Amino acid sequence: LQGDAEDPIIRPVYDSQESIYQALVADLETALGLFDPSATSWGSEDLIYGGDIGLWMKFANSLKLRMAMRISDVAPSQAQTWAEEAASHPAGLITDNSESASLVFLSGSPNQ
């Protein structure tokens, strides 16, 4: 913070939008491959979906679809592939608000 770094980086390298989204989608695909709906549930340890693996899979597919929409101007063919994969995945997509990923922190004021 003092500006006295031994080797300061004056011209940082930036990753392209496309490469960042490709890495994110690869991580989502890895996660989808690891989900096992028949496995023991996380139960109360899962503060978002209460251990429902199917909802986690829908969330991952919905994120993949959103990323496809975000990258559509940069790589339209890649975006179309991701969108089709997300929409055709057996787990499906989030279809209504009750399936949204949300974390209720505390039930009392001011954290409602």
pLDDT at residue number 91 = 93
* 39-74 pLDDT, tens digit each: 777 777 888 998 889 999 999 999 999 999 999 998
Instruction: Give CA angle at 94 (83, 21), nearest 5°.
Output: 40
Mean pLDDT of the chain: 87
pLDDT at residue number 2 = 59
Domain segments of the chain as ranges: 17-94
Kindly report whether the global pTM for this prediction surpasses the value 0.85. Answer: no
> What is the average pLDDT across 87-98?
95
Nearby residues of 36 by Cβ (< 8 Å), 6 or more positions away: 53
pLDDT at residue number 45 = 84
Q: What is the dihedral of CA 102, 47, 44, 86, to 10 degrees?
A: 60
Predicted confidence (pLDDT) at residue 83 exceeds the cutoff of 90: yes
